[in-house]
Amino acid sequence: MTETLNAITVEVNGVPRTARVPARLSLVDWLRDELRLTGTHVGCEHGVCGACSILLDGEPIRSCLLYAVQADGHRVTTVEGLAQPDGSLSVLQDSFCEAHGLQCGYCTSGLLIAAQALLDANPHPSDAQIREAIGGNLCRCTGYQQVVEAIRLAAERGAGKITP
Amino acid sequence: MKAPPFEYARATSLAEACELLRRYGDEAKLIAGGQSLVPMMAMRLLRPAWLIDINEIAALKFVAVESEVVRTGACARQAVLERDATIGVRMPLLKQALAWVGHVQTRNRGTAGGSLAHADPSAELPLVAQVLGAGMLLRSAKGARKIAAEEFFTGPMSTAMAPDECLEEVHWPLWQERRTGSEFTELSARHGDFAMVSAAAQIALDSEGRCVRAALGLGGVGITPLAFPGLTARLVGTRLGENDFEQLAREAAAQCDPGSDLHASAAYRRHVAGVLAARALRAAHGRAESVQ
């Protein structure tokens, strides 16, 4: 059978992108396979691991649990959208490097999105609030301690609101 | 692409959603937050021919705290309810339960109505609905009807909703007693995972400290969330103490019918049900007492 293609327009990292997608294409597959924004990772594909976290209209969600067609008319920010306009790392990303908040890096883009959303809403979170904010992101390397330290460091450095 | 093929329709009004449901019947599924539905489709446990998206219907997203009830639109996000300051004050049980529902990312997308319609017997919000005796306003192309939680939940992932019906509103009853306390607690392998057992309690006291109203519920230990109105009615008119909590929790646990799986045996679940029920009653009572 030929699948119906649905026309969509989604603002991705500030740029309107249009496509025609089958309804069952997940947002993360569209971002990675068609827009080639491969910073967002695919882990479990059923909403458990958090690797595919993106911001939808400024709020962190799992992009494996949204069909691309559902994002039509909405605003998406991926990890590529966190970097500064000249491509250099954001305060948060730099803090992850400095505090060794990653090892293999698979979960990192999801953690960065979760952490940036936290700092956007709450620039000076407590450690408990940091842990709550990243509670939906599985990391099998770090044990989370350095991730918490990285986010705390970013907060101290004023990792300001960078998402519109 | 993991999900089987389907056709997508974005409803822009409740009337349009109902019309699509009338047309496609059980060939169609409504998608709200999709936090349970999308994984089930990814695993191909569900193969709807049509997915009717109700996320763009603004009229289904309201939260209205009234004098005797909190009314929420079926598509109100869990995160919106969690952040609602008035709900936190007037209906703390709902806020307490939401803290256990998944994670930030899933609560931003997941809806309370979707959780109720999904009717997972271990889920938090169906338990709150059952304990408080929430009402569900259902809409179809033929009209509307309202049913109580105890009739709404009919089994695991099963409700009394017909294939052509859409949940429109949830009516969460507010207790009027000033000295009311509540508690929600659960046991899971990790916070945010599916609960092995969950417990919710709400207790109201008079100025003398006597119980005027009490409710207790347990989740994950039956085919639906369970409430125990027969047991809690006995508490009314008495001053409650540790023995009452223990006794009531034991009797409630004895009435449960949990299953066994990889995570926990039926006997273990029943034991934990008693422990959590006593904890929930004790904490709810303590909160009610602390209101002067």
Residues B31-56 pLDDT 10s: 999 999 999 999 999 999 999 999 99
Enter the tokens of residue B5: 């093929």
Q: Are residues A28 and A74 in the same domain?
A: yes
The number of distinct structural domains making up chain A is 2
Of A32, A55, A81, the domain-final residue: A81
Q: Are residues A34 and A69 in the same domain?
A: yes
B139 near B170, Cβ under 8 Å?
A: no
Q: Are residues A111 and A60 in the same domain?
A: no
Structural domain includes residue A41:
yes
Contacts of B39 in chain A (CB under 8 A): 46-47, 65
> Please, what CATH class does the domain formed by B58-173 belong to?
alpha beta
Of A30, A48, A81, the domain-final residue: A81
CA distances in angstroms from A87 to A12, A79, A81, A84, A90, listed in the order given? 16, 12, 9, 5, 9
Please list the alpha-helical segments (H only) found in B99-201. Answer: 104-109, 112-118, 124-132, 149-152
Of A81, A108, A125, the domain-final residue: A81
Q: How many CB atoms lie within 10 A of CB B157?
A: 15
The CATH code of the domain that includes A75 is 3.10.20.30
A63 near A40, Cβ under 8 Å?
A: yes
Taking each helix axis from N to C end, the angle separating A91-98 and A108-121, rounded to the nearest 10 degrees, works out to 130
Average pLDDT over residues A121-136: 96
Q: Are residues A38 and A14 in the same domain?
A: yes
Structural domain includes residue A163:
no
Is the pLDDT at A126 greater than 60? The verdict is yes
Enter the tokens of residue A77: 């920010």
Write out the residue limits of the CATH 3.30.390.50 domain(s) in chain B: 180-290
* Confidence (pLDDT) at A161: 62
Structural domain includes residue A66:
yes
The CATH code of the domain that includes A106 is 1.10.150.120
User: How does pLDDT run across A29-66, given as a tens digit for each residue?
Assistant: 999 999 999 999 999 999 999 999 999 999 999 999 99
Q: Which chain A residues have any C-beta within 8 angstroms of a chain B C-beta?
A: 1, 3-4, 6, 22-26, 29, 45-47, 50, 53, 56, 59-62, 64-67, 69-70, 72-73, 114, 117, 132-133, 135-136
* Confidence (pLDDT) at A162: 57
Q: Are residues A70 and A30 in the same domain?
A: yes
Q: Are residues A149 and A116 in the same domain?
A: yes
Is the pLDDT at A160 greater than 70? The verdict is no
Is the complex ipTM higher than 0.90?
yes
* Confidence (pLDDT) at B192: 87
Q: Are residues A67 and A95 in the same domain?
A: no
CATH number of B7-53: 3.30.43.10
Q: What is the largest CA-CA distance in chain B?
A: 62
Structural domain includes residue A44:
yes
B40 contact partners, CB below 8 Å, separation of at least 6: B46
Q: Are residues A71 and A43 in the same domain?
A: yes
Enter the tokens of residue B201: 């309690």
User: How does pLDDT run across B170-224, given as a tens digit for each residue?
Assistant: 999 999 999 999 999 999 998 888 899 999 999 999 999 999 999 999 999 999 9
Q: Are residues A55 and A123 in the same domain?
A: no
Write out the residue limits of the CATH 3.30.43.10 domain(s) in chain B: 7-53
Is the pLDDT at A163 greater than 70? The verdict is no
Containing domain of residue A32, as a range? 5-81
- Which regions of chain A does DSSP assign to beta strands (E)? 5-12, 15-22, 53-56, 59-62, 75-77
Beta-bridge mates of residue A56: A59, A76
Q: Which of B44, B77, B103, B120 to probe the A interface (max A CBs under 10 A)? A: B103
User: How does pLDDT run across A76-123, given as a tens digit for each residue?
Assistant: 999 999 998 898 999 999 999 999 999 999 999 999 999 999 999 999
Whole-number Å distance between alpha carbons of A40 and A54:
8
Q: Are residues A71 and A98 in the same domain?
A: no
Q: Is A26 within 8 Å of B1 when comparing Cβ atoms?
A: yes
Q: Is B108 within 8 Å of A67 when comparing Cβ atoms?
A: no
Structural domain includes residue A138:
yes
Facing B1 at nearest CB: one of A6, A25, A114: A25
Structural domain includes residue A111:
yes
Structural domain includes residue A141:
yes
CA distances in angstroms from B114 to A79, A114, B75, B168, B221, listed in the order given? 29, 24, 7, 11, 21
CATH number of B180-290: 3.30.390.50
Taking 50 as the pLDDT cut, the residues of chain B under it are: none
Structural domain includes residue A164:
no
User: How does pLDDT run across A134-151, given as a tens digit for each residue?
Assistant: 999 999 999 999 999 999
